[in-house]
Structure 1
């Protein structure tokens, strides 16, 4: 009897999950995507910035132009101290497109998800109102049962369901029940259960009809113990973030949770803060569409897979948003997971046994974790620098970085972007750019001596 085609069950329909489903379509990998919300573009009051590393993959998936049509690229950056005095201004961001092919574009998260959903060639595989209730696995596959009693069978289950991932928790449960779990894996599991910590909280906001800040401007306000990040988009839409350091470092399971009332109380204390030239935070607050307060968890899991489970995005790596790399890193991870699965399936007649799945998922983690650790560390450093968390951070923020010069700053940005992966099985984007990406460079051939 002929075996059925390899199939993945994706849990979570946000950026990571929808990127993965679009990539699987290109790779001809069968899947079903289960989303717990009532739609694939829920109104959660959050925004997202798409940088060149994310846009490059989204370009391969055919949605780059639509994103650009809906957004205003960032061009200028202004930095201010706690009293509103500007201590640095540059237009370095306007050079990003020439160097890396894409501008930096901010938009509402729900709008990005709408663009992704509209691009899905087979929406019958994307199912809403499917909250995962249980996951069973065996030697030949997995079965996912949702709260409405529906059952879905496949070869692997992919947790793209956020920082408090249900799939990751069930993966941990399966690892706990495995009496033959290697000691090093068990040790990593114990650490993963406590890896998430939190030192900062953030109010994410979106305001409409704010015409006093020019479109395409990035405004940073550095203050002791807190900071503002203000990004102006099209038609007076402003995406803003207020960061504050907490009273102590929290760890799971004691990471704080906040209400809408908490967001209001926090922001009303900051109404007179100067956040741009002749603009106070009051103007954003009075014109707000949404404002939500959340804890900023940080942590990179040691184990991203076990048996037929695998996680990606915030379920595997959670970072602070100051560098705008959470969503972009999720897109990168989806690309690498797709590459690994496509390659493995092509080598094994479109079917994978348990051993081959483990090898494939191990390669995915190995290719991603080092880069993610580096990006996550840099994001955390940015959060602390903008909040002037130490004298070293003060000196870096106020004196060293402003004096680096455009050339060196562009190089530092390039060092982050040029290592970005793309889909191996789709033609590379044709956008002109001055700085080559690492996967565009010809691979060095080994000599007959082996090096």
Structure 2
């Protein structure tokens, strides 16, 4: 990268945050390429909700209308205890009046497909598992498992809670004894469950089970612990509320649509090192129950691209 030329950004991971970052860079006319370890992507996930803390960015990117088409407006949240005792309701009906935006709820893979459609196919490479990172004053180079190398000016780790890029830079920092002690500590784990009504009379469910360090290695057996949890949902406004058990949904869901993963809850201190920066779950894995994981990743991407855009503006002025 010369003083007056835009940087080339290498993006590790073609998940929601990586694709959103790519769209932002595309709009800013900043060179980039996305490298995804999987040979093909099968978007999984349950429901996802977005509101006024990120929707302005979707609107500026011209994505708000498409988001609305795959969504339902979220007007309320019902809170229940483990016996389906009603604890309260969060009323969101006046949200648009207060913020200018509805709250939307939708199927996570639907949003993924929208974002993927906005990134040129020649700017995403699949089956590119990154196994090594080198960086110096001339740029950053990534090495893939099939022996290829790619060079750029900036590397962004948007590759999730078990980020390969984070592991690479943390290893380097630890060897140099500059990695904060807090970033070496074990994470904590989270628990809750929910069901969500989605467009086209679909139901999404998710279960979060809190595990201590000892139980992590036995986590695959935890599904049975939550199998008989009570649930409550309404498919349409004209239908009656349904109260049953979580296993009603699990047994009637295609196993191919169910994903299971251990997700750490941890806010890391180190987000950048040299020419490498982390965004989203790679550096700030939040409790899934907060519903802010994807939002934080999108916000990270917005801040990063704004910084790059400002940098280019300063170079042009200078």
TM-score (norm 2): 0.86
Q: Per the alignment, do residues 288 and 94 of structure 1 end up closer, same or farther by CA in structure 2, a change over 3 Å counting? A: farther
Q: Is the 8 A contact 1:12 1:161 kept in 2?
A: yes
Report how far residue 305 of structure 1 moved. 0.7
Q: Per the alignment, do residues 291 and 349 of structure 1 end up closer, same or farther by CA in structure 2, a change over 3 Å counting? A: same
Q: Per the alignment, do residues 291 and 161 of structure 1 end up closer, same or farther by CA in structure 2, a change over 3 Å counting? A: same
Q: Per the alignment, do residues 245 and 239 of structure 1 end up closer, same or farther by CA in structure 2, a change over 3 Å counting? A: same
Q: Per the alignment, do residues 151 and 65 of structure 1 end up closer, same or farther by CA in structure 2, a change over 3 Å counting? A: same
Is residue 2:80 matched to residue 1:80? yes
Choose which of 301, 306, 313 in structure 2 pairs with 1:346: 313
In the TM superposition, 1:29-68 aligns within 5 A as 29-39=30-40, 41-68=41-68
More helix by share: 1
Is residue 2:72 matched to residue 1:113? no
The aligned residue for residue 152 of structure 1 is 150
Aligned to 1:58, the other structure's residue is in SS state helix
Is residue 2:309 matched to residue 1:311? no
The count of aligned residue pairs is: 306
- Cα offsets for 1:377-399 (capped at 9, x unmatched): xxxxxxxxxxxxxxxxxxxxxxx
Deviates more, 1:101-110 or 1:54-63: 101-110
TM-score (norm 1): 0.62
The aligned residue for residue 132 of structure 2 is 134
Q: Per the alignment, do residues 231 and 143 of structure 1 end up closer, same or farther by CA in structure 2, a change over 3 Å counting? A: same
In 2, distance between residues paired with 1:302 and 1:194? 11
The aligned residue for residue 334 of structure 1 is 301
Q: Per the alignment, do residues 99 and 169 of structure 1 end up closer, same or farther by CA in structure 2, a change over 3 Å counting? A: same
Report how far residue 65 of structure 1 moved. 1.1
Is residue 2:292 matched to residue 1:292? no
In 2, distance between residues paired with 1:243 and 1:195? 18
In the TM superposition, 1:256-295 aligns within 5 A as 256=217, 258-259=219-220, 262-263=222-223, 265-270=224-229, 273-276=230-233, 277-281=241-245, 282-289=247-254, 290-295=257-262
In 1, distance between residues paired with 2:284 and 2:93? 29
In the TM superposition, 1:183-262 aligns within 5 A as 186=178, 188=180, 190-194=181-185, 196-198=187-189, 200-201=190-191, 227-246=192-211, 248=212, 250=213, 255-256=216-217, 258-259=219-220, 262=222
Report how far residue 98 of structure 1 moved. 2.2
Aligned to 1:20, the other structure's residue is in SS state helix
In the TM superposition, 1:8-19 aligns within 5 A as 8-19=9-20
In 2, distance between residues paired with 1:140 and 1:245? 44
Q: Is the 8 A contact 1:197 1:255 kept in 2?
A: no
- Cα offsets for 1:142-173 (capped at 9, x unmatched): 11121222221111111000111111111112
In 1, distance between residues paired with 2:179 and 2:6? 35
Aligned to 2:72, the other structure's residue is in SS state coil
Q: Per the alignment, do residues 195 and 349 of structure 1 end up closer, same or farther by CA in structure 2, a change over 3 Å counting? A: farther
In the TM superposition, 1:338-417 aligns within 5 A as 338-349=305-316
- Cα offsets for 1:169-190 (capped at 9, x unmatched): 1111222344xx6xxxx252x3
Q: Per the alignment, do residues 232 and 303 of structure 1 end up closer, same or farther by CA in structure 2, a change over 3 Å counting? A: same
Aligned to 2:265, the other structure's residue is in SS state strand
Larger Rg: 1
The aligned residue for residue 269 of structure 2 is 302
Aligned to 1:342, the other structure's residue is in SS state helix
In 2, distance between residues paired with 1:57 and 1:350? 26
Report how far residue 130 of structure 1 moved. 1.1
Consecutive unaligned residues in structure 1, runs of 5 or more: 202-226, 352-451
